């Protein structure tokens, strides 16, 4: 179905003279540093995988477009894709949008950190990273899709829990929107640099992208179910239930929204730049 250190100043409320006599809220007991949340969520590990995904996609695109037919063009294209998928640049873009969407809300940040610092949260993170890394292998992804189909045909109760995770984060809708927006960004960038004979009229771009919405939605749904099915496989029933409860909580929903804002900030520019790079490469030029 994709950060410099998170920049988010946590402003704790001033304490009155009698405040020490009252119990402090959980978020006040441990001042959560902005960078800590990124560490807790293992964003460095995630973006290392996203870099590899971007490199694989870019190489496939270059092969399909005939941009890697000889060693010189292949090396130039690989360097271009590596530049576009620089993890440091992606992290910087993500962090700003992620922090802005979460806002200065210490209780929400603490609730997110508390879940992901717990043994269950740490297991969720590790399992999701393992599943995402596994999906770099097409055979593993296809096997997970087949397993998902079998589980749903057999009415596996865990499939219903996976659906609750998807609904809580609005994962299908937001990924479909991101995919279509990315396609439009790519085509817009491509149109700016590609040979005139290979581009669509500007007025046709949006309708061309929207015409693919049903296919994108079906593929996104299948991918998300398969990915989360594989990611949640190591979780016990109790651990999966705790994960669903967190995802459906206000903090879990805020986290999902912030992640999508961050990913949009990362991948829309990459899509546009990738379109431009593809058009230039077809003309034997460089960015």
First to last CA, the chain: 29
Residue 170: inside a domain, yes or no?
A: yes
pLDDT of residue 249: 98
Residue 155, domain member (yes or no) = yes
Q: What is the pLDDT of residue 35?
A: 53
* 104: confidence class by pLDDT, cuts 50, 70, 90: confident
Is the predicted pLDDT of residue 33 greater than 70, yes or no?
no
Number of domains observed in the structure of the chain: 1
Q: What percent of the chain has pLDDT over 70?
A: 87
Tell whether 64 is covered by a domain.
yes
Q: Is residue 117 part of a domain?
A: yes
CA distance 3 to 249: 25
Instruction: Assess if residue 148 is contained within a domain.
Output: yes
Whether the per-residue pLDDT at 216 is higher than 60: the answer is yes
The string of pLDDT tens digits covering residues 240-271 is 999 999 999 999 999 999 999 999 999 999 99
- Looking up tokens 């179910």 gives 225
In a domain, 128, yes or no: yes
The dihedral built from the CA positions of residue 15, 20, 23 and 28, taken in this order, carries a sign that is positive
> Exposed (0-12), middle (13-18) or buried (19+): which is 20, by Cβ within 10 Å?
exposed
- Residue 199: the pLDDT is 80
Query: Is 1 domain-assigned?
Result: no
- pLDDT recorded at residue 209: 92
169: domain range? 31-282
Confidence tier at 203 by pLDDT (50, 70, 90): confident
Do 183 and 189 meet the contact criterion of CB atoms below 8 Å apart? no
pTM: 0.84
Query: In Å, what is the CA distance from 233 to each residue of 160, 175, 263, 283?
Result: 13, 22, 25, 47
Q: In the prediction, which pLDDT does 5 show?
A: 23
Q: What is the mean pLDDT of the chain?
A: 86
Q: 234 lies in a domain?
A: yes
Query: Comparing 45 with 20, which gets the higher pLDDT?
Result: 45
Q: Would you place residue 29 in the very low, low, confident or very high pLDDT band (cuts 50, 70, 90)?
A: very low
Calpha distance 35→146 (Å, rounded): 39
Residues 168-184, mean pLDDT to the nearest whole number: 96
């Amino acid at each position: 179905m994709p950060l410099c250190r998170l920049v988010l100043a946590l402003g704790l409320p001033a304490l009155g003279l009698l405040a020490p006599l009252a119990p402090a809220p959980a978020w006040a007991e441990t001042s959560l540093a902005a960078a800590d949340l990124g560490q807790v969520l293992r964003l460095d590990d995630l973006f290392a995988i996203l870099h590899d995904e971007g490199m694989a996609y870019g190489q496939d695109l270059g092969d399909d477009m005939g941009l890697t037919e000889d060693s010189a063009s292949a090396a130039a294209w690989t360097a271009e894709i590596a530049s576009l998928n620089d993890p440091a640049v992606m992290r910087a873009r993500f962090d700003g949008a992620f922090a802005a969407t979460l806002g200065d809300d210490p209780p929400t940040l603490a609730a997110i950190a508390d879940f992901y610092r717990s043994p269950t949260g740490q297991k969720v993170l590790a399992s999701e990273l393992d599943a995402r890394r596994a999906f770099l292998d097409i055979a593993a992804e296809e096997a997970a899709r087949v397993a998902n189909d079998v589980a749903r045909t057999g009415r596996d109760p865990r499939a219903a829990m996976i659906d609750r995770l998807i609904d809580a984060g609005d994962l299908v809708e937001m990924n479909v929107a991101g995919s279509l927006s990315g396609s439009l960004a790519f085509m817009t960038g491509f149109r700016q640099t590609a040979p005139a004979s290979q581009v669509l009229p500007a007025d046709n771009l949006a309708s061309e992208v929207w015409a693919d919405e049903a296919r994108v939605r079906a593929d996104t749904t299948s991918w998300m179910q398969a990915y989360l099915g594989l990611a949640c496989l190591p979780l016990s029933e109790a651990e999966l239930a705790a994960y669903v409860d967190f995802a459906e909580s206000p903090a879990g929903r805020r986290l999902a929204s912030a992640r999508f804002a961050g990913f949009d900030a990362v991948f829309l520019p990459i899509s546009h730049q990738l379109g431009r790079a593809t058009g230039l490469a077809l003309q034997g030029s460089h960015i």
